[in-house]
């Protein structure tokens, strides 16, 4: 009888132990699942592409960013080898080097399909149940490369723009020193050329500084409420002498009473002023320039319309680029730097607005600045 009770108690104890083990196991499984889904969440949310290649070359894991970078649609079938997805010799070589050396490596490469992308790939060894695996992390550096190229082009353009007037000044100075200085009549055109070219240099440096200011977010926009009628009247008056000297009539249409705009006064004057400069410069004797301002669905529109030479359709998309000119000769002749419109674009964007152009070759152009009124 006692023996039976002892056995029963033993069995009960065993059952209790088993039960508590089952509870612990369940908790551990829940923890593991939570960890796994957390890891999956991190991988899914990463902007960097992640790919893990097992010891046999088969892909063990790949996140959506890597699929996107590599242009893969849908899931990657189990057992797919990374070499089948990325047939890039540099990448394959890097994977082999990581495997052989056991050390991290980093390489830059360009993929041309599905679209051109510049990648920085870092590879390192990581552990996997099947043995040492290779972890690849892809950083998409396409935007960085684009900015780098822009910067390089910009430096090359600036150097070229500075070189032209400097060469002319140097040539004039050498001629003067070579004897023309002694003869006032012979020397005068060279001195005039120095004055003109140094004026060009000055405008170029001024425009570059303005561009740097409006581009850098440090330069704070100091908005104030600007009553447009008075403001635009002043701009027209400021440009009247230039218009007159080119026999162009410049007029302001009456602004709707009370129309006012929250904007940085200096920047707005620069933007409107540059548009008026262009409308006068790229015009013909007897031509007209009309300035208008009105509000339309919460947007203030400032329009500068001219009856000038117009812009060929194929150039329209590019005229807001730095240093882009339709007719280099004419722009130089009129003292243009090729930076005016890019300055205008930055000013409009810094105010949350934009700038638009419509033009008909030989008939004229209309530039519109659009600023939110709220």
Q: How many residues belong to the site for ligand ADP (CB under 6 A)? A: 22
The residue from 86, 272, 279, 369 that contacts ligand ADP (CB under 6 A) is 279
CB nearer to ligand ADP: pick between 159 and 218 = 159
The CB-based long-range contact list for 334-337 (8 Å cut-off, 24+ gap) reads 334/281, 334/282, 335/199, 335/200, 335/203, 336/281, 337/161, 337/200, 337/203, 337/204, 337/207
Determine if the peptide bond prior to 79 is cis (ω within 30°): no
CB nearer to ligand ADP: pick between 48 and 358 = 358
Through-space distance between the first and last CA atoms of the chain, rounded to whole angstroms:
94
DSSP 113: S
Beta strand 249-252 with 59-62 is: unpaired
Q: Which of residues 297-316 bind ligand ADP (CB under 6 A)?
A: 306, 308-311
The residue from 248, 341, 348, 350 that contacts ligand ADP (CB under 6 A) is 341
Q: Which stretch binds ligand ADP (CB under 6 A): 24-32, 60-68, 78-86, 272-280?
A: 272-280
Beta strand 299-306 with 364-372 is: antiparallel
CB of 282 to ligand ADP, least distance (A): 3
Q: Which of residues 194-253 bind ligand ADP (CB under 6 A)?
A: none
CB of 334 to ligand ADP, least distance (A): 7
Whether 327 contacts 345, CB under 8 Å: no
Q: Among 111, 108, 124, 139, which Cα is nearest to 46's? A: 139
Q: Which of residues 311-340 bind ligand ADP (CB under 6 A)?
A: 311, 319, 324-327, 331, 336-340
278 near ligand ADP, judged by CB under 6 A? yes
Chain residues that interact with ligand ADP, rule: CB under 6 A: 274, 278-279, 282, 306, 308-311, 319, 324-327, 331, 336-341, 365
């Amino acid at each position: 009888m006692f023996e039976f009770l002892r056995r029963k108690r033993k069995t009960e104890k065993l059952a209790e132990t088993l039960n508590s083990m089952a509870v612990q196991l369940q908790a551990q499984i829940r923890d593991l699942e939570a960890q796994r889904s957390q890891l999956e969440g991190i991988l899914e949310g990463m902007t960097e592409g992640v790919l893990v290649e097992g010891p046999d070359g088969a892909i063990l894991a790949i996140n959506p960013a890597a699929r996107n970078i590599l242009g893969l649609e849908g899931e990657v079938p189990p057992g797919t080898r990374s070499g089948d997805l990325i047939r890039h010799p540099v990448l394959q070589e890097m994977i082999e080097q990581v495997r052989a050396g056991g050390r991290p490596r980093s390489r830059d490469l360009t993929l041309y399909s599905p679209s051109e992308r510049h990648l920085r790939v870092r590879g390192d060894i990581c552990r996997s149940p099947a043995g040492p695996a290779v972890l690849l992390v892809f950083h998409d550096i396409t935007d960085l490369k684009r900015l780098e190229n822009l910067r390089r082009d910009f430096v090359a353009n600036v150097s070229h723009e500075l070189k032209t007037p400097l060469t002319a000044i140097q040539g004039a100075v050498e001629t003067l020193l070579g004897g023309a200085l002694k003869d006032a009549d012979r020397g005068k055109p060279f001195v005039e050329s120095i004055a003109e070219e140094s004026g060009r240099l000055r405008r170029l440096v001024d425009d570059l500084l303005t561009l740097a200011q409006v581009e850098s977010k440090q330069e704070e926009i100091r908005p104030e409420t600007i009553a447009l009628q008075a403001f635009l009247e002043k701009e027209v008056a400021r440009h009247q002498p230039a218009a007159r000297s080119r026999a162009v009539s410049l007029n302001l249409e009456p602004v709707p009473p009370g129309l006012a705009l929250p904007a940085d006064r200096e920047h707005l004057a620069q933007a409107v002023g540059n548009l008026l400069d262009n409308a006068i410069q790229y015009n013909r004797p007897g031509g007209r320039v009309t300035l208008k301002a009105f509000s339309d669905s919460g947007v203030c529109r400032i329009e500068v319309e001219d009856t000038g030479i117009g812009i060929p359709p194929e150039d329209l998309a590019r005229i807001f680029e730095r240093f882009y000119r339709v007719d280099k000769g004419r722009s130089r002749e009129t003292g243009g730097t090729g930076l005016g419109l890019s300055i205008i674009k930055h000013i409009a964007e810094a105010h949350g607005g934009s700038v638009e152009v419509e033009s008909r070759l030989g008939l004229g152009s209309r530039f519109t600045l659009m600023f939110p009124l709220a």
